[in-house]
Amino acid sequence: MAELAHNLSSNLTHLRTARGMTQAQLAQSAGIPRSTVTHMESGAGNPSLNNLARVAAALQVGIEALLAMPPNALRHVPAERLASRERSGGKATVVDLLPEPLVGFALERIELRPAANLRRRAGSPGSQCCCHVVQGEVICTASGEMVTLSAGDVLTFRADQPHGLRVSGGGRALVLCVTLPAPVAAA
């Protein structure tokens, strides 16, 4: 919660000053007391959803723009805080590299130990996957085809069908995979 209060404080101050508004002007435009704006900007406030919506509307942004990590902020996430899971009978470790989930997106570091055979379920319709082999040699099965990839190779394919990765030979492999949602058609 402290992180959200910090994000709100930083983003609100930045957005307000970028628009050349004083706290009083923003409060008047949002229809809330100036003290509410002051509390939000200090990080001490616990604003209602209604007040967040009023301030966002006055600034012509979505509520998420007020609560998101500030664009110029760095955030260090220690490795032990990243979500990871063992797969393929303990022969593969999949680490999620995005600290917060983004709908339809995935960025994964996949460590394949000898004899690993990682089968992956189909993603959402139209989704795409891009795999980059960092180390080792991997056989990727996708779209009814089988491709052998060496360190440095990249393979893209539709992720909306089952696919798999397995180590070629007896070594280890390291693969980075990015899954992207289906492109949105222009209206």
In this model, does residue 137 exceed pLDDT 70? Answer: yes
- pLDDT at residue 186 is higher than 90: no
Tens-digit pLDDT profile for residues 49-103: 999 999 999 999 999 899 988 876 677 889 999 999 999 999 999 999 988 777 7
- Asked if the structure places residue 73 within a domain, the reply is no
The H or E element containing residue 26 is helix 23-30
pLDDT of the residue at 187: 52
Compute CA distances 104 → 68, 69, 114, 141, 160, whole Å. Answer: 18, 20, 30, 21, 11
Strands 128-135 and 154-158: antiparallel
3-state helix, strand, coil in the chain (%, to 5): 30, 30, 40
pLDDT tens across 110-119, in order? 999 998 999 9
- Domain end call among 67, 87, 104: 67
Dist. CA 175–CA 182, nearest whole Å = 22
72 located within any domain? no
pLDDT in tens, 38-48: 999 998 878 99
Q: From residue 27, give the alpha-carbon distance in Å to each of 38, 78, 94, 181.
A: 9, 39, 47, 39
Q: Is residue 53 part of a domain?
A: yes
pTM for the full model? 0.64
pLDDT for the residue 70: 81
- The pLDDT value given to residue 185: 61
Indicate if 83 and 158 belong to the same structural domain.
Answer: yes
Which range of residues forms the domain containing residue 63?
Answer: 2-67
Residue 57 lies in a domain: yes
Is residue 36 a contact partner of residue 45, using CB atoms and an 8 Å limit?
yes
Residues 121, 170 within the same domain: yes
